[in-house]
Structure 1
Amino acid sequence: EGVNNFSGLGAQTPTAKKISTTNVSGFGYQTPTAKKTPIKPVEGVNNFSGLGAQTPTAKKISTTNVSGFGDQTPTQQKQELLGLSGVTVERFWEIINPVILMEERRKKEEERADFYQPSISILTPTWNSSLDWFVETVLSVLNQSIYDWEWCIVDDGSKQPEIRNVLAGLAEKESRIKVLFSEDNGGISAATNRALKMATGEFICLLDHDDTLAPTALENSLDKLAEGFDVVYSDEDKIDFDGLSYIESFFKPDWSPEYFRGVMYVGHLLCVRRKIALDVKGFNSQFDGVQDYEFMLRVSEKTNKIAHIYKHLYHWRKVKGSISGDVDAKAGIEVVQQAAVNAHLERIDLAAKAEPGLGRHRVNINPLPRKNYPLISLIIATPNISESLNQWLENFLSVSSYPKNEVILIGGNGTENLIQNPAVKVLSLSGKFNDSRAYNLGAKTAQGEYFVFVNTNLEVAVNDWQRHLLYYAEQSDIGAVGGFLVFPNGTVEHAGIVLGKLGKVNYVMRGFPTNHDGYAGSLVCAREVSAVSRDCLMVSRENFDLVGGFNEHFFSDYQDVDLCLKLRKKGKRIVFTPRSVLINHESEKHKQGNYDVVDYMLLLDQWQIDMDMGDQYYQWIMDN
């Protein structure tokens, strides 16, 4: 039942578009560049940069050569990279002392007290740290645009006297820097836990000893946290091997718990309410190598008040021998990642197992064998019932392995019933055929606990496609789940629906090869999306009734988008799963992109304001 390299698609055609990929981060993030086939009246989606106004509450200071990171544009200002090598202790202080002296002068001018309660504590473990890199880490902290921070550094048994020398000097010269020296090397989790115990701020954030913060990293984080969040994370990029350029920007979605189980996407910068960090007992040494990821899994079990900042606030240095520079640098890391997810699934009582995914540092969530099988109603609407439909139904059901189905088929008024299968219930819709009315009629007649709306162009590519849909549909906070629809030539047709400003609607990554990772694992891991297609959509009877079913004012199109948005308004997540694969032998209408204009205008009338806020699970780079 492996997916994306499945045989049901047949031979890959020579004309299928290939993708050149660029590694964008240590977790194998890849930037797809495939050519897409447009769908819906307007193609493309605008990226949006904000989630509402931010309430600045952090104490700010005037700074020199430090400015806001701003939106994601070529004119962003960041700390100038030095690209140093061979930095001695003397050279270190030549660079750092003027910055500390300048801060002392500002403190006197502003009559700031030497002692105050910091708002945020930075946690950094060090171990034989290179001064070439650490000097820039120090500069990035000292040049923060707010002053009410503290920096808790734990040296984890360094044998190199240079780093111990400068750490002791920093603690002596800057009262906001606390340093603790360990005699033995206990590992990164143990050292971070000791730093956590030193912290006094309301929030903590994590900074590695060779990385840097954007000048407004702490200010932006505190502003967002002040809106009532317990956790915030930001976009990030990397510092190249030469230490002279910022490269490989990584754009993240808003909090997506399902996606996070498959991809370690949160990364840096991560800021967490200190009480929650203590409540989850900090970091677990058993998961060194993915300790931040495993920590965030446990944090997410305590709170869902998690926000994303659309700014590159963290710069991850590419280092040889590190995942930042080589995704294969740490052997066995994927085994530890899977173990972290399996422990998480067990704690939250989800009946699934984390297994190796398709791609580096990817996790496949595989539902465990079932003991009971709720009835699933396959609801199919078509104006005309033909003899070929009888054969299609027989093939469709014979390939599907789920043992407990019923089929509700809704045809147009006066359509002759040519279906000979007694297991299929055939209904007739009076008046002009309306897909939404037909689906609602089918749902009222259906006996199943779960509905799957499918179209008659589909061919089953993996026989357990319903099992993967049902795993998500059974979860109480998921409203609807959609399958992975592919074209016969081996390219993507549907992997989730994207909504954007000015009423833009599109199928994300349409036209990509099906064996591609997508952007940051988005084609090989289940993830949250704004909407999924009714061509293969599962929803529980309870959730369908909760929002009143399909809006019957939509005749042909967009009732799926409307249904998903109504479910999201009720606090439900919409999920796309790449494990439920079907081939879509698309109709001529879809090839031509002919969609009902009246339905489209109704969608805008209902949801224009929400769509103008942008798509929280989409970044423009996913389709570029």
Structure 2
Amino acid sequence: MSIVFLLRRLRPFLFPKNSLREVWARYLLAVYSRLTNCWRGYARWQKNVEQIKKAEGGGVSIETFSFTELDGQTLLKALSQSQAEYILLAAAPLLLADSALDEIKHALQVYPETDLIYTDGDWLDRHGKRIRPWFKPAFGIDSLRAQNYIVPFFAIRKVFGDSIGWFDPAAGSAWAEDLIWRAVERARQVIHIPKVLYHQLEERMVAFDDERRVLERHLERVGWPAEVAPGPAQHTFHLRYHLRCEPLVSILIPNHDLPAELKRCLHSILTKSTYQNFEILILENNSRQPETFTLYEELQRRDGRIRLVEYHHNPFNYAEINNFGASQARGEMLLFLNNDTEVITPDWLERMLEYAQRPDVGAVGAKLYYPQGLIQHVGVILGLLGAGAHQFVNYPRNHVGYYHSMLLPQNFSMVTAACLMTRREVFWAVQGFDSIYRLAFNDFDLCLKIREQGYLIAWTPYAELYHHESLSRGYDSNSAMLARLQQERETFTRRWRALLQAGDPYYNPNLALDRGYYSLRFGKYETTPRAMPGLGGSR
């Protein structure tokens, strides 16, 4: 019997429920399970899950070029003479899986109009053992700009590569990154094959200055220049987009009593925020405590940007009260904020505006912590634990996530409305929150409606707040509320059944949805190529 097994059995007796010690024990057990699942279990996954798909028929010609052949004119001459429809490029020493060409041909049969294809991959250690699998997301431009996960192995349609000029000598060692940026700018469709089709042998030899320069040139070409600094790990970047203007941000905060929480929230906004062009709408909903109304008067006297908007309807409906608040707001930007949040980073509004100002982005989420310093929100995975759930809940705030994902801006299917920014025009274009969701899933539903209109959902780790939601918060003490939550869950899963069945594009289908985050998925299942519009085919 292992020590880990005993710890699991004895945890309820050793640690008080939801104490900080119990939370840490739960976290350490989760990390251990994930490591053993992903590291020890990867060999078992290869044996039991990986399958080779043979392409049926021909019709697609492919030619491969490795990084060793990239000597400028020689390669360009070879490309010009090639009669292949697609060119495969490797930007690092690697071996192709036996099934690689068949899988790529199959993807092209499914999506014959695609311009760019990439795949999952792993590494071979010095003993030839496969390790460190990277199960990648489907194409998302914000995730890609923070960490170019398309390299080191990808395929480009030959006539498309000819049209964009293939290689730019000015890119230097970042020739692959430069080619990818120019490709996604004009690509109609980018395909991700969620299968491990290459095994990397050595690290890519690319200079950071070259990587940064080609990324900056990409941002300038698409009209959204940004300051580009080194990220938390090699081949990652910290982008700070330039604000085009300083729009009025309407901060909407529903409140039912809880004067201490509201005071803490507003005090943090007023004393910490470096962005000053905002208004705060307190959405008063049937409060009874005299202290609450005394606080309202004090706050409005303190700052003329604070307005009290009364909404006296029973029972409480989160969607309705926020829709009403949005109808009273004057700002071009709407920021939905819970009254139990507290600002940490002074430039939180600017960091969210960087993304909300872009016409391709429909909503932006923030990084939220419990007061103990544990993660509350770093993005939501569609289908996780059923309908959808936050990832990495109760992990330490400095946890890096999967391939540093928790430290880098990402595209998600959904983010929480505990702190969510959107443009007024986008919010009303999808008719706001659906009032059928009184308590929960209203933010998930809103994000999916926004995505349905072709917008991106972005999440930034650079806007940080505490969320003083109790770690032990639950609805099991109120059977009526529990029944309501279950009803809303069922409504959500019925409405979005097709998306749930297709799977979250930003979460790899080789990863489990019924247990720990980014654990390997086992059992019989089939992964299919995933198509996303490139910048040449998006809104």
TM-score with structure 2 setting the length: 0.78
More displaced stretch, 565-574 vs 354-363: 354-363
SS in 2 for 1:532: coil
Shift in CA distance, 231/17, structure 1 to aligned 2, threshold 3 Å:
farther
Shift in CA distance, 190/464, structure 1 to aligned 2, threshold 3 Å:
farther
Q: How does 1:216-365 map to 2 (within 5 A)?
A: 216-226=99-109, 227=111, 228-242=113-127, 244-318=128-202, 323=203, 330=205, 333-365=207-239
Aligned residue for 2:266? Answer: 393
Question: For the Cα contact (< 8 Å) 2:153–2:198, is it kept in 1?
Answer: yes
Q: Return the letter of the residue paired with 2:493.
A: L
Q: Return the letter of the residue paired with 1:345.
A: L
Aligned counterparts of 2:33 and 2:328: Cα–Cα separation in 1: 43
Aligned residue for 2:395? Answer: 512
Aligned residue for 1:99? Answer: none
Aligned residue for 2:356? Answer: 473
More displaced stretch, 251-260 vs 600-609: 600-609
SS in 2 for 1:276: helix
Question: For the Cα contact (< 8 Å) 1:236–1:316, is it kept in 2?
Answer: yes
Q: Return the letter of the residue paired with 1:381.
A: P
Matched, 1:539 2:539: no
Aligned counterparts of 1:34 and 1:438: Cα–Cα separation in 2: 43
Shift in CA distance, 511/413, structure 1 to aligned 2, threshold 3 Å:
closer
Question: For the Cα contact (< 8 Å) 2:216–2:225, is it kept in 1?
Answer: no
SS in 1 for 2:299: coil
Shift in CA distance, 298/411, structure 1 to aligned 2, threshold 3 Å:
same
Question: For the Cα contact (< 8 Å) 1:367–1:467, is it kept in 2?
Answer: no
460, 466, 490: which one pairs with 1:601? Answer: 490
More displaced stretch, 436-445 vs 479-488: 479-488
Q: Return the letter of the residue paired with 1:421.
A: L
Question: For the Cα contact (< 8 Å) 1:400–1:464, is it kept in 2?
Answer: yes
Q: Any gaps of 5 or more consecutive residues in structure 2?
A: 1-19, 35-44, 520-539
Question: For the Cα contact (< 8 Å) 1:410–1:427, is it kept in 2?
Answer: yes
Q: Shift of residue 575 of structure 1?
A: 0.8
Question: For the Cα contact (< 8 Å) 1:466–1:580, is it kept in 2?
Answer: yes
Aligned counterparts of 1:192 and 1:277: Cα–Cα separation in 2: 13
Q: How does 1:547-558 map to 2 (within 5 A)?
A: 547-558=430-441
Aligned counterparts of 2:178 and 2:220: Cα–Cα separation in 1: 14
Aligned counterparts of 2:22 and 2:233: Cα–Cα separation in 1: 24
Question: For the Cα contact (< 8 Å) 1:459–1:583, is it kept in 2?
Answer: yes
Superposition CA RMSD, Å: 3.1
Shift in CA distance, 511/239, structure 1 to aligned 2, threshold 3 Å:
same
Aligned counterparts of 1:16 and 1:285: Cα–Cα separation in 2: 53
Matched, 1:193 2:76: yes
Q: Shift of residue 462 of structure 1?
A: 0.5
Shift in CA distance, 215/488, structure 1 to aligned 2, threshold 3 Å:
same
Question: What CA deviation, in whole Å up to 9, does each residue of 1:119-148 have, x standing for no partner?
Answer: 22222353xxxxxxxxxxxxxxxxxxxxxx
Q: Return the letter of the residue paired with 2:31.
A: T
Q: Shift of residue 218 of structure 1?
A: 2.0
Shift in CA distance, 203/72, structure 1 to aligned 2, threshold 3 Å:
same
Q: Shift of residue 591 of structure 1?
A: 6.1
504, 510, 515: which one pairs with 1:615? Answer: 504
67, 76, 94: which one pairs with 2:50? Answer: 76
More displaced stretch, 540-549 vs 189-198: 189-198
Question: What CA deviation, in whole Å up to 9, does each residue of 1:278-329 have, x standing for no partner?
Answer: 22211233334332122101100111400111111112223xxxx16xxxxx
Question: For the Cα contact (< 8 Å) 2:27–2:395, is it kept in 1?
Answer: no
Q: Any gaps of 5 or more consecutive residues in structure 1?
A: 1-12, 22-31, 37-70, 79-111, 127-153, 155-186, 325-329
Shift in CA distance, 258/18, structure 1 to aligned 2, threshold 3 Å:
farther
Q: Return the letter of the residue paired with 1:33.
A: V
SS in 1 for 2:438: coil
Shift in CA distance, 308/17, structure 1 to aligned 2, threshold 3 Å:
farther
Counting matched residue pairs gives: 462
Shift in CA distance, 251/380, structure 1 to aligned 2, threshold 3 Å:
same
Aligned residue for 1:96? Answer: none
372, 384, 396: which one pairs with 2:257? Answer: 384
Aligned residue for 1:375? Answer: 248
Aligned residue for 1:182? Answer: none
Shift in CA distance, 360/20, structure 1 to aligned 2, threshold 3 Å:
farther
Aligned counterparts of 1:77 and 1:588: Cα–Cα separation in 2: 42
Aligned residue for 1:33? Answer: 31
Shift in CA distance, 299/426, structure 1 to aligned 2, threshold 3 Å:
same
Larger Rg: 1 or 2? 1
Q: Return the letter of the residue paired with 2:501.
A: D
Aligned residue for 1:205? Answer: 88
Question: For the Cα contact (< 8 Å) 2:92–2:200, is it kept in 1?
Answer: no
SS in 1 for 2:407: coil
Aligned counterparts of 1:352 and 1:591: Cα–Cα separation in 2: 42
Question: For the Cα contact (< 8 Å) 1:501–1:613, is it kept in 2?
Answer: no
Question: What CA deviation, in whole Å up to 9, does each residue of 1:550-596 have, x standing for no partner?
Answer: 00111111100000000111111111111111111113664678862
Shift in CA distance, 474/75, structure 1 to aligned 2, threshold 3 Å:
closer
Q: Shift of residue 196 of structure 1?
A: 2.1
Question: For the Cα contact (< 8 Å) 2:255–2:262, is it kept in 1?
Answer: no
SS in 2 for 1:290: helix
Q: Return the letter of the residue paired with 1:202.
A: E
Aligned residue for 2:278? Answer: 405
Shift in CA distance, 14/218, structure 1 to aligned 2, threshold 3 Å:
same
Question: For the Cα contact (< 8 Å) 2:378–2:391, is it kept in 1?
Answer: yes
Aligned counterparts of 1:201 and 1:493: Cα–Cα separation in 2: 49
More displaced stretch, 205-214 vs 577-586: 205-214
Q: Return the letter of the residue paired with 1:618.
A: Y
Q: Shift of residue 117 of structure 1?
A: 8.9
Question: What CA deviation, in whole Å up to 9, does each residue of 1:512-540 have, x standing for no partner?
Answer: 32223221221111111110000010010
Shift in CA distance, 343/372, structure 1 to aligned 2, threshold 3 Å:
same
Matched, 1:440 2:438: no
Question: For the Cα contact (< 8 Å) 1:497–1:508, is it kept in 2?
Answer: yes
Aligned counterparts of 1:77 and 1:316: Cα–Cα separation in 2: 20
More displaced stretch, 415-424 vs 451-460: 415-424
Aligned residue for 1:123? Answer: 65
Q: Return the letter of the residue paired with 1:120.
A: I
Aligned counterparts of 1:509 and 1:253: Cα–Cα separation in 2: 17
344, 362, 376: which one pairs with 1:493? Answer: 376
Shift in CA distance, 405/301, structure 1 to aligned 2, threshold 3 Å:
same
Aligned residue for 1:4? Answer: none
Aligned counterparts of 2:170 and 2:387: Cα–Cα separation in 1: 46
Aligned residue for 1:50? Answer: none
444, 451, 462: which one pairs with 1:561? Answer: 444
